[in-house]
């Protein structure tokens, strides 16, 4: 059972409130993004999606030069001075300038390599977002450090609304791929400006190597981890495009984007709260253990039914929602659902390991995973998107036990105790799968929309009913904390230099 003793309840309530605001930060933008995605899928085909994905992939790869991990170092440190913030801001700006220069110089060779003239045209415009992303690193860290999740939600909401409005207007005006590109750029710029405003912080023109060095041990490993994640999550469209062309890259990008939208709703809210929460109570192992088990249960209870249920009805949902031109994405989407389960679990593990001062271990774990994934991309891309994703999923499952053992050691908890958290969500999902399969078997020939609605309703009801039977105590713990967080009033924000939490 996930513990919620009175001594831990105040911090847990604050964390659950953070999950609420982080959910707002993710759910509303994701809904807006989904609507834009829906409209875009009706206007553009796989080839157009592929070209934009290739350009975005190359920009994201060069974004690994940005010191994004220093933001986590700012959150994790017990005290931070203004010189740390200023130095990080200007270091990030210099890195963005270097990355953009490399992108501009290499746009021609990249275009010829990928076999699309559009890539050379789009890259210089797409690369401008590097400067906006760099400018937002420090303000975002300040807001996260204060656990001011309502400000993060407002920032993301504003950026999403601007991006969504521009995308739809430009699509309706006939701008095609430019609509997606300009919308992405406007989203980054709006998010950076909103973060500056929300953090109430402006950089001073000064830089200290000593300040950067003090952040470097944690920040370098964290940046390295993010760089490896970017290589394994952003290089793939470029590699797929290199072997299979823009059309298959579009099929791949469509499946991946849909997966990432779902993941941002399920994993991002809890992950965004978990790192600052674990950092703020890192000296109290018992509280960390209880908080981790609570976060893991909540994440799995949400992600299991969504990803497993979606995999069961993907062949119905894709043609109904996006159109028949995207039917080839069904198998990749199902495989991404398996990766989604692992990602929702992994984001909590990563937050715990980093907050306990083992960022170097998580870096090497991600490094090994990244090397394996890149190898799979290079070897398997030529065999098609489905074969590629199936191999990535197998490799992801195979390495998960290493993270489980590390997590259990940090918690001073047996592996069996940690795995027990998954019994309720996993068991309920098995029942849900059986119910959906039975419903699909006995259903007469119905319109796809009707069949899809019946399957979703039957799956949701069976999952909830089973959870209340086999995981009632954990579910009630979460419900009580959620009710307490809604009824609790905010006590204001801490200053930048205070201890987080």
Asked whether the beta carbons of 181 and 55 are under 8 A apart, the reply is: yes
Higher pLDDT, 354 or 333: 333
Burial 295-309 (b: 16+ CB within 10 A, else e): bbbbbbbbbbbbbbb
In this prediction, residues 59-75 reach a mean pLDDT of: 83
What are 349-394's pLDDT values in tens digits? 888 887 777 878 988 898 888 889 889 999 998 899 999 999 999 9
Q: d(Cα 102, Cα 113) in Å, to the nearest integer?
A: 16
- Is the CB of residue 298 less than 8 Å from the CB of residue 19? yes
Closest CA to 138 of 191, 70, 228, 222: 70
Chain segment 412-469, per-residue pLDDT in tens: 888 998 899 999 999 999 999 999 999 998 887 889 999 999 999 999 999 999 999 9
Alpha-carbon torsion angle 432, 437, 443, 449, nearest 10: 70
- 300-319 mean pLDDT: 94
Q: CA-to-CA distance for 224 and 230, rounded, in angstroms?
A: 10
Between CA 12 and CA 280 the distance in angstroms is 12
What does the alpha-carbon distance between residue 223 and residue 137 come to, in Å, rounded to a whole number?
12
Percent of the chain with pLDDT over 70: 82
Residue/partner pairs of 258-263 with CB below 8 Å, 24 or more apart: 258/37, 258/329, 258/333, 258/336, 259/333, 259/336, 259/337, 259/339, 259/340, 261/30, 261/33, 261/34, 261/37, 262/30, 262/306, 262/307, 262/310, 262/340, 263/340, 263/343, 263/344
pLDDT band at 274 (very low <50, low <70, confident <90, very high): low
The pTM (predicted TM-score) of the whole model is: 0.73
150 CB-near residues (< 8 Å, 6+ apart): 21, 24
Tell me the domain boundaries of the chain.
Answer: 6-487
Which single residue is written with the structure tokens 């399920």?
Answer: 266
Question: Residue 501: which pLDDT band, with cuts at 50, 70 and 90?
Answer: very low
């Amino acid at each position: 059972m996930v513990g919620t003793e009175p001594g831990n309840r105040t911090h847990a309530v604050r964390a659950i409130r953070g999950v609420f605001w982080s959910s707002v930060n993710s759910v509303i933008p994701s809904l807006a993004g989904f609507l834009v995605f829906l409209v875009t899928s009706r206007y553009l085909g796989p080839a157009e999606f592929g070209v934009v994905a290739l350009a975005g992939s190359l920009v994201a790869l060069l974004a690994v030069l940005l010191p994004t991990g220093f933001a986590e170092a700012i959150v994790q440190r017990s005290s931070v001075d203004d010189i740390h913030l200023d130095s990080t801001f200007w270091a990030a700006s210099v890195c963005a300038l270097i990355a953009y220069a490399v992108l501009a110089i290499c746009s021609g060779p990249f275009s010829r390599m990928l076999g699309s003239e559009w890539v050379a045209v789009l890259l210089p415009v797409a690369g401008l977002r590097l400067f906006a992303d760099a400018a937002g690193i420090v303000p975002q860290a300040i807001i996260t450090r204060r656990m001011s999740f309502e400000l993060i939600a407002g920032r993301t909401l504003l950026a999403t609304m601007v991006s969504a409005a521009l995308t739809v207007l430009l699509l309706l005006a006939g701008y095609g791929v430019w609509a997606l590109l300009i919308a992405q750029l406007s989203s980054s710029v709006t998010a950076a400006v909103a973060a500056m405003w929300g953090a109430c912080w402006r950089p001073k023109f000064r830089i200290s190597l000593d300040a950067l060095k003090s952040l470097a041990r944690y920040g370098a490993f964290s940046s390295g981890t993010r760089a490896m994640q970017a290589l394994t999550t952003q290089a793939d469209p470029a590699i797929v495009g290199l072997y299979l062309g823009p059309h298959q890259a579009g099929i791949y990008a469509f499946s991946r984007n849909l997966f990432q939208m779902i993941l941002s709703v399920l994993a991002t809210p809890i992950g965004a709260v978990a790192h600052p929460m674990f950092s703020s109570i890192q000296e109290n192992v018992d509280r960390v253990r209880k908080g981790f088990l609570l976060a893991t249960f909540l994440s799995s209870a949400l992600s299991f039914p969504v990803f497993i249920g979606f995999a069961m009805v993907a062949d119905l949902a894709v043609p109904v929602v996006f159109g028949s031109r995207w039917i080839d994405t069904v198998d990749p989407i199902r495989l991404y659902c398996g990766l989604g389960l692992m990602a929702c679990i992994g984001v909590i593990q990563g937050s715990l390991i980093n907050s306990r001062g083992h960022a170097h271990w998580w870096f090497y774990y991600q490094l090994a995973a990244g090397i394996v994934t890149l190898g799979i991309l290079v070897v398997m891309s030529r065999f098609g998107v489905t074969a590629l994703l199936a191999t990535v999923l197998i490799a992801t499952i195979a390495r998960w036990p290493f993270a489980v053992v590390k997590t259990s050691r940090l918690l001073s908890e047996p592996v069996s105790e940690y795995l027990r958290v998954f019994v309720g969500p996993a068991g309920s999902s098995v029942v849900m799968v059986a119910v959906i399969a039975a419903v699909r078997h006995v259903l007469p020939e119905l319109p796809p929309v009707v069949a899809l609605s019946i399957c979703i309703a039957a799956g949701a009801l069976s999952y909830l009913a089973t959870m209340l039977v086999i995981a009632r105590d954990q579910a009630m713990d979460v419900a009580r904390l959620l009710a307490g967080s809604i009824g609790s009033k905010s006590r204001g924000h801490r200053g930048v230099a205070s201890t987080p939490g």
